[in-house]
C-alpha cells in the first residue's frame, strides 16, 4: 500500500505546525486510499508521540547520536533512509527554516520532485498538484510535480488539524538510523527570544515599517504591544535597515503569521509583505497615505501620522483594561 | 578562494499589484512596461561575496547565470560591481525551466569553471520563489548546502568555513568543509552596493563567456521533467476597509482604541 509520510521534528513538539502537517497528511491519505506514516526526527515527548499516534496509521521515531539537534546533513541522511523504507508517494514537511533547507535535497535523494510554501496539496490523475503564491503573492500557481514521491513543505499553521477521530496508530516504532560522517557542525545556536509566544503562534501582532524612520519608534511600538499583549514584528525594509532583528521579518521571505489581529504601522503593504499576513483574521493599518496598498487588506484602518497616534492609543488601551 | 555567484534575471518584483497581469495560456506574467532586473537575493549573494573578497584581500568571484541572451545585462552589472569573470549559459528555448533543470545546468557549468570553493545562490527568486536551486545544486554536485546564510569567514581548520545563518528563532553558526553551496538571505549588512559609473562603462569591455546547453551536455528537452506550471491566475480578494472617521485626531484615536479593545476583549 502506498503511504503518505508526515515529517515532524521532535524538538518542536506537537505545535500548531505539526498539527497542520498531520491534518494535511491525513486528508491526503484518505483521499488517495494511502496509509499515513508519521516520521519524527529527534526525541519526541509524550504529547507529540500520542498526538501523531491519534492521527497516523504508523509512527516512527528516529533518535540517536547526530539526531539530538538539527544538523542539515544528518537529518537529511536519516530522513532519506526512513522515507525510502516507507513506500512514500508523498512526503509532507512544515515550512520552518529546517524543512525548507532540506526538502528539495530530500526530493532529489528519493528521485522525486519538490514544491513548497503550499497552501493546498491534492492528487490528480496520479500526480500531486501544489497550490502556492508566486510573483511575490501577486499571482497563484498550481504546480504539477512530475516525479514521485512528491516532497512538499506546507504552510502548516494555516492548515486545519485532523479531526480527532482517534484512529490509534498501534505502537510507536523506535529506530536509530546509521548516519554517514559529516564535516558540517553546528557550533552555536542563538535565539533572539522576545519572551512570550513565538511570532508564528502569536494571537496579536504589532508590526512596524520603514515609515517609522528609525529604530527609536520601535520602543514606542513595544509599549503599545505590551498593553495589547502582542508580539512585535516588522517589514523587510525595517529589518534590512538594521532597526530590528531579521527574525522579526514577516512576509514572503519572513514569518508567515496568522493572528487574530495584525496591526501594521507605517507599512505600505507590498505584496511580498501581504504574503506573510494574509491568514490574519483582522488586519488594521495606521498609515498617513490613504492610497497605501495595505488598506486593501484591512478590515479597518486609520489614515494618520503614526507619531500622533501611538502614545495616545497606548494610553487609551491601558486605561480601558 | 574561488566563489561562484549564481544570478537570475527576473521581472521587476516591485511592479505594483494593480499593474500586474498574467498570461494564463502561457502561464507566465506579462512583462508590460516593467523592467527585467537581477533577483534581489542574488544581488545580496554577490554583495556578500564582494565583501568577503575585500576582507581577505584576495580571491576570485565568478558570476554565473542561466537564462535568455538578454540575461547578459545581469552579468554586465556583476562585472560593473567587479566580479572577476562572467559566464552566461544561454537558454532561449524555455523562459521558465523547472528547478532541477536549472540546478543541473548550473552544476555542469560549475564543473566546467572548475576549482570553485563556495557556490552562492539567492535563497529564492522574486518571481517563482521556488527556493530549490541551492539544495538541488548541492545534490547534483554531491556537496553540502547551508541555507539562509548571511555570510562566512575562514574556519578553524584549513578547508573549512564558518557560516552564520538565520533561523526562525535567531541564528546559527555552522562549520562546514568546502566545497559547498550557500543560499544567501538579506540582512542589514549585505544591502547591494551601487556600481560606479566608470565601472559600468568598463563592464562592457570585459570578457563575458557564453556557453550553450549542448556545450555543457545538458538536454534542453528535459526542462519540465521535474515539475511544471499547470495553472496561473491572479487571486481575487477584496476586503473593504472601513476607514476610521472623526472630527479631530483625538476622536479618531478614541474610535480606533474602541475597535482594537473590542477585538482584544473578545479573545
Ligand atoms: C523577493 C522579495 C521578497 C521580499 N520579501 C519581503 C518580506 O518577506 N517581507 C516584507 O515586508 N517585504 C518583503 N519584500 C520587500 C517589499 O517588496 C517591500 O519593499 C517592503 O515590504 C516595504 O517595507 P515598508 O512597507 O516598511 O516600506 P515602504 O514601502 O517604504 O512603506 C512605508 C510606509 O510608511 C508610510 N509612512 C511614512 N511615514 C509615516 C508616518 N509618519 N505615519 C504613518 N505612515 C507613514 C508610508 O505612507 C508608506 O506606506 C520583498 C521583496 C522582494 C523583491
Give the whole-angstrom CA distance, residue B109 versus residue B71: 16
Mean pLDDT of B147-156: 96
The tens digit of pLDDT for each residue in A78-116 reads 999 999 999 899 999 999 999 999 999 999 999 999 999
pLDDT of residue A23: 96
Mean pLDDT of B50-57: 97
Pick the CATH number of A3-175 from 3.30.310.50, 3.40.50.620, 3.20.10.10, 3.40.50.1400: 3.40.50.620
Domain covering B2-222, topology: Rossmann fold (3.40.50)
Task: Report which of B236, B265, B263 is spatially closest to residue A300, judged by C-alpha positions.
Answer: B263
What is the pTM (predicted TM-score) of this model?
Answer: 0.95
Residue B160: closest C-alpha in chain A = A183
Residue A163: pLDDT band (50, 70, 90) is confident
Cβ–Cβ below 8 Å for B239 and A303: no
Q: Which atom of ligand 1 lies at the shortest distance from residue B126's CA?
A: 1
Q: Is pLDDT at A167 greater than 80 in this prediction?
A: no
Ligand 1 contacts CB of residue B131 (under 6 A): no
Helices A97-110, A72-85: axis angle to 10 degrees equals 50
Mean pLDDT of B21-31: 95
The tens digit of pLDDT for each residue in A3-22 reads 999 999 999 999 999 999 99
Task: Chain A: give the shortest CA distance to residue B21, in Å.
Answer: 9
Which candidate from B134, B177, B227 shows the least CB-CB separation from A145? B227
The tens digit of pLDDT for each residue in B208-243 reads 999 999 999 999 999 999 999 999 999 987 789 999
pLDDT of residue B237: 77
Angle at B203 between CA B202 and CA B208, to 5 degrees: 135
Angle at B120 between CA B115 and CA B121, to 5 degrees: 135
Angle at A31 between CA A26 and CA A37, to 5 degrees: 35
φ/ψ of B171, rounded to 5, equals -150, 165
Mean pLDDT of B51-71: 97
Give the whole-angstrom CA distance, residue B85 versus residue B202: 13
Q: What ipTM, to 2 d.p.? A: 0.96
Instruction: Classify residue A32 by burial, with Cβ atoms within 10 Å: 0-12, 13-18, 19+.
Output: middle
Task: Chain B: give the shortest CA distance to residue A47, in Å.
Answer: 22
Mean pLDDT of A279-286: 96
Q: Is pLDDT at A165 greater than 70 in this prediction?
A: no
pLDDT of residue B238: 74
The tens digit of pLDDT for each residue in A171-194 reads 799 999 999 999 999 999 998 766
pLDDT of residue A105: 98
pLDDT of residue A166: 59
Residues facing A283 on adjacent strands: A262
**Looking at domain A199-320, which CATH architecture does it have?**
3-Layer(aba) Sandwich (3.40)
Mean pLDDT of A106-128: 96
Residue B69: pLDDT band (50, 70, 90) is very high
Q: Tell me which of A16, A109, A114, A275 to substitute to probe the interface with B (most B C-beta atoms closer than 10 Å).
A: A114
The tens digit of pLDDT for each residue in A231-268 reads 999 999 999 999 999 999 999 999 999 999 999 999 99
Domains A3-175 and A199-320 equal at CATH topology level = yes
- Where do the domains of chain A lie? 3-175, 199-320
Between B10 and A191, where is the model more confident?
A: B10
pLDDT of residue B177: 98
Q: Quick one: cell of B261? A: 479593545
Mean pLDDT of B183-194: 96
Amino acid at each position: 500500500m502506498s503511504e503518505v509520510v508526515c515529517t515532524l521534528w521532535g524538538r518542536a513538539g506537537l505545535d500548531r505546525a505539526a498539527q497542520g502537517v498531520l491534518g494535511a497528511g491525513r486528508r491526503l491519505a484518505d483521499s488517495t486510499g494511502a496509509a499515513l506514516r508519521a516520521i519524527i526526527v529527534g526525541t519526541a515527548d509524550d504529547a507529540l508521540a500520542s498526538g501523531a499516534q491519534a492521527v497516523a496509521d504508523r509512527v516512527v521515531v528516529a533518535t540517536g547520536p547526530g539526531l539530538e539537534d538539527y544538523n542539515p546533513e544528518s537529518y537529511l541522511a536519516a530522513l532519506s533512509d526512513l522515507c525510502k523504507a516507507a513506500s512514500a508517494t508523498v512526503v509532507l514537511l512544515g515550512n520552518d527554516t529546517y524543512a525548507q533547507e532540506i526538502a528539495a535535497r530530500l526530493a532529489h535523494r528519493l528521485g522525486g520532485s519538490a514544491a513548497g510554501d503550499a497552501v493546498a496539496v491534492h492528487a490528480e490523475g496520479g500526480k500531486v498538484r501544489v497550490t502556492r503564491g508566486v510573483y511575490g503573492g501577486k499571482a497563484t500557481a498550481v504546480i504539477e510535480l512530475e516525479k514521485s514521491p512528491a516532497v512538499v513543505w506546507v504552510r502548516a499553521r494555516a492548515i486545519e488539524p485532523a479531526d480527532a477521530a482517534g484512529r490509534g496508530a498501534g505502537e510507536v516504532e523506535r529506530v536509530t538510523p546509521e548516519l554517514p560522517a559529516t564535516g558540517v557542525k553546528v557550533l552555536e545556536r542563538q535565539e533572539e527570544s522576545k519572551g512570550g509566544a513565538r511570532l508564528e503562534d502569536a494571537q496579536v501582532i504589532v508590526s512596524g515599517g520603514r515609515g517609522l524612520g528609525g529604530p527609536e519608534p520601535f520602543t514606542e511600538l513595544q509599549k503599545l504591544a505590551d498593553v495589547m499583549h502582542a508580539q512585535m514584528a516588522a517589514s523587510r525594509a525595517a529589518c534590512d535597515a538594521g532597526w530590528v532583528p531579521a527574525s522579526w521579518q514577516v512576509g514572503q521571505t519572513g514569518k508567515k503569521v496568522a493572528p487574530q489581529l495584525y496591526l501594521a504601522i507605517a507599512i505600505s503593504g507590498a505584496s511580498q509583505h501581504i504574503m506573510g499576513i494574509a491568514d490574519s483574521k483582522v488586519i488594521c493599518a495606521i498609515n498617513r497615505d490613504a492610497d497605501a496598498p495595505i488598506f486593501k487588506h484591512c478590515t479597518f484602518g486609520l489614515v494618520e501620522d503614526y507619531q500622533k497616534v501611538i502614545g495616545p492609543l497606548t494610553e487609551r488601551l491601558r486605561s480601558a483594561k | 578562494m574561488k566563489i561562484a555567484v549564481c544570478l537570475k534575471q527576473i521581472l521587476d518584483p516591485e511592479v505594483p499589484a494593480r499593474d500586474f497581469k498574467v498570461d494564463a495560456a502561457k502561464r507566465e506574467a506579462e512583462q508590460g512596461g516593467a523592467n527585467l532586473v537581477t533577483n534581489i537575493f542574488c544581488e545580496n549573494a554577490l554583495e556578500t561575496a564582494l565583501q568577503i573578497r575585500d576582507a581577505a584581500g584576495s580571491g576570485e568571484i565568478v558570476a554565473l547565470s542561466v537564462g535568455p541572451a538578454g540575461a547578459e545585462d545581469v552579468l554586465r552589472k556583476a562585472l560593473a560591481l567587479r566580479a572577476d569573470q562572467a559566464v552566461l549559459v544561454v537558454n532561449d528555448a524555455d523562459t521558465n525551466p523547472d528547478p532541477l533543470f536549472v540546478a543541473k545546468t548550473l552544476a555542469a557549468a560549475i564543473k566546467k569553471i572548475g576549482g570553485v570553493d563556495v557556490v552562492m545562490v539567492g535563497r529564492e527568486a522574486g518571481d517563482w520563489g521556488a527556493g530549490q536551486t541551492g539544495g538541488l545544486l548541492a545534490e547534483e554536485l554531491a556537496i553540502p548546502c547551508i541555507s539562509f546564510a548571511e555570510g562566512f569567514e575562514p574556519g578553524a581548520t584549513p578547508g573549512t568555513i564558518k557560516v552564520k545563518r538565520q533561523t526562525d528563532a535567531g541564528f546559527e553558526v555552522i562549520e562546514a568543509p568546502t566545497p559547498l553551496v550557500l543560499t544567501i538571505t538579506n540582512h542589514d549588512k549585505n544591502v547591494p552596493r551601487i556600481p560606479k559609473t566608470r565601472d559600468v562603462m568598463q563592464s562592457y569591455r570585459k570578457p563575458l563567456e557564453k556557453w550553450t546547453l549542448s556545450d555543457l551536455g545538458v538536454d534542453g528537452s528535459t526542462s519540465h521533467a521535474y515539475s511544471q506550471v499547470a495553472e496561473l491566475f491572479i487571486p481575487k480578494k477584496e476586503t473593504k476597509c472601513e476607514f476610521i472617521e472623526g472630527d479631530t485626531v483625538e476622536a479618531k484615536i478614541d474610535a480606533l482604541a474602541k475597535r482594537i479593545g473590542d477585538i482584544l476583549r473578545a479573545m
